[in-house]
Amino acid sequence: MNFKIIEHKCKYFIEYVDKMIQPSADEFFNLVDVNQLKIYKTFSFNSILAHAIDYMALIANTMLIENNQKSKRRPEYVKTFDQKYIVEGAEHINHKFRLVDAINNSFKHVELVSYSNFLVFNQIDRIKAKKI
């Protein structure tokens, strides 16, 4: 097994957590605490988390390939991560990785339209309005 490749990917991931995820999470939760969170910050933070999931899957696949095993598709990892990081007895906070995935995917389908003092989030056939 080529440990140098895996070590390099892991070092990058740790650096990504330290320099991107942690500062973004701090800012995100500070904004939540003072009720100042904007929709674009939510999608930005979600994109940062989605990239982390991609990289976790890349590292895991690299290890499989290095061991002459068949690689997995991203959705398989998302399901595995949700199972691994489950909170026993908690109904609403599990499936975190699938939620990040779904939000990240849905962002491609959002159309923002302003009508006087309303901002409308139009996703496919569902329209949700928020007074601004």
Overall number of domains in the chain? 1
Give percent of the chain above pLDDT 70: 72
Mean pLDDT of 92-107: 71
Domain holding 81, by residue range, is: 3-131
The predicted model scores a pTM of 0.66
Mean per-residue pLDDT of the chain: 78
CA distance 70 to 65: 6
| pLDDT, greater one: 53 or 115 | 53
What confidence score (pLDDT) does residue 85 get? Answer: 72
What confidence score (pLDDT) does residue 115 get? Answer: 57
